[in-house]
Amino acid sequence: MTVKKVAFITGVARGQGRAHAVKLASKGMNIIGLDICADIPSMDYPNATEDDLRATVKLVEAAGGEIVAAKGDVRSYDDLRRVLAMGLDRFGRVDVLLANAGIIRLSPDGDRDQTWVDIIDVNLTGVWRTIEVVLPAIRAGGRGGSIVITSSTAGMKGVGTDKAGAQAYTAAKRGLVGLMQVLANQYAPEMIRVNTIHPTGVATGMNLNPAMEKLMAEAAAGGKNTISAMQNALPIPILQAENIADAVAWLVSDEAAYITGIQLPLDAGFAIR
Structure confidence by residue, pLDDT tens digits, 189-216: 999 999 999 999 888 877 776 766 665 5
Short-list 158, 191, 12, 147, CA closest to 87: 12
Span 163-199, pLDDT tens digits = 999 999 999 999 999 999 999 999 999 999 999 999 9
Catalytic residue (one of 77, 169, 187, 258): 169
pTM for this prediction = 0.92
| Three-state DSSP class for residue 158 | coil
169 carries an active-site annotation: yes
Neighbours of 136 (CB within 10 A): 11
* Vertex 99 angle, CA 94 and 100, to 5°: 130
Asked whether the predicted pLDDT for residue 218 surpasses 70, the reply is: no
pLDDT of residue 109: 77
b (16+ CB within 10 A) / e for 222-249: eeebbbbebebeeeeeebebebbbebbb
Asked whether the predicted pLDDT for residue 242 surpasses 80, the reply is: yes
From residue 224, alpha-carbon distances to 43, 206, 227, 260 in Å are: 21, 20, 8, 38
Task: Report the C-alpha gap between 201 and 141 in whole angstroms.
Answer: 35
Short-list 183, 182, 194, 212, CA closest to 43: 212
98 residue type, one letter: L
Neighbours of 205 (CB within 10 A): 16
Handedness of CA 84, 86, 92, 96 (dihedral sign): negative
Span 83-102, pLDDT tens digits = 999 999 999 999 999 999 99
Strand residue runs (E) in the chain: 6-10, 30-35, 67-71, 96-99, 145-150, 192-199, 263-266
